[in-house]
Amino acid sequence: MSLTAEHLRAGHRPDIPVLDDVGIEIPRGRTIGLTGPSGAGKTTLARVCALLHRPWSGRVSVDGAVVSGRAEAPPETRRAIAMLFQSPRQSTSPRLTLERIVTEPLLIARVPRRQRSDVVHAAAARVGLTADLLTRRPHQVSDGQLQRACLARALVQRPRYLICDEMTAMLDPATTAAVVAVLREETRTGLGVLAVSHDHALLRAWADDVVELPVNAGARTP
């Protein structure tokens, strides 16, 4: 069981591929580190794996089922993949409380109201967010606290795969360690993680395998 990308060719500008015949496999229960020089295409690859960026060619499959894009994927496949970004502020609404932010996947999945609160509070406790913090809005908490809320939001979705794009880059060492500890527990129960980072020491401690993405010739073309 894995999230697999094969022979990907993808980019942002016509005829200038960022990824040219690139592949990666994220098995369930393992953390794959992804590193490489700036501009190599790590974020592009992460977004293709999360079905957020459509490749020009190649194949993405989730547990054996080929997926052509997020819009076409069945809800069950969309729910199977969650993504965490470097900046939690760009992936949360400033108008919502942290509790409402964490609740979001349960609203989408139409989980009954009486079950939602227990699930959200359990996930918040898991990532080290107190009930008081859950009542605040993003501008009233630190980046680390908001990233913990984003992690809780991802956990309540119960994804099979989690794509983390530099998710610890804005965090202090204690928060990074806490977040990585939660994710390592999740991998033990079957979550597959792609961890994109420039921090080699972090990936050595966190990942089971580390893949280096070289800059390809197409990406260097002006």
Ligand X SMILES: Nc1ncnc2c1ncn2[C@@H]1O[C@H](COP(=O)(O)OP(=O)(O)OP(=O)(O)O)[C@@H](O)[C@H]1O
Q: Is 38 a residue that touches ligand X (CB under 6 A)?
A: yes
Q: Is 13 a residue that touches ligand X (CB under 6 A)?
A: yes
191/161 Cα distance (integer angstroms): 6
73/24 Cα distance (integer angstroms): 20
Q: How far is the CB of 50 from ligand X (least distance, A)?
A: 13
Q: Is 83 a residue that touches ligand X (CB under 6 A)?
A: no
Q: Provide φ and ψ at 43, rounded to 5°.
A: -65, -40
Q: How far is the CB of 60 from ligand X (least distance, A)?
A: 16
Q: Which is nearer to ligand X, 9 or 136 (CB)?
A: 9
Q: How far is the CB of 84 from ligand X (least distance, A)?
A: 15
- Of 10-18, 76-84, 123-131, 187-195: span binding ligand X (CB under 6 A): 10-18
- Tally Cβ neighbours within 10 Å of residue 135: 11
Q: Which is nearer to ligand X, 79 or 89 (CB)?
A: 89
DSSP 95-134: TS-HHHHHHHHHHHTT--HHHHHHHHHHHHHHHT--HHHH
Chain positions contacting ligand X, by CB under 6 A: 12-13, 18, 36, 38-44, 219
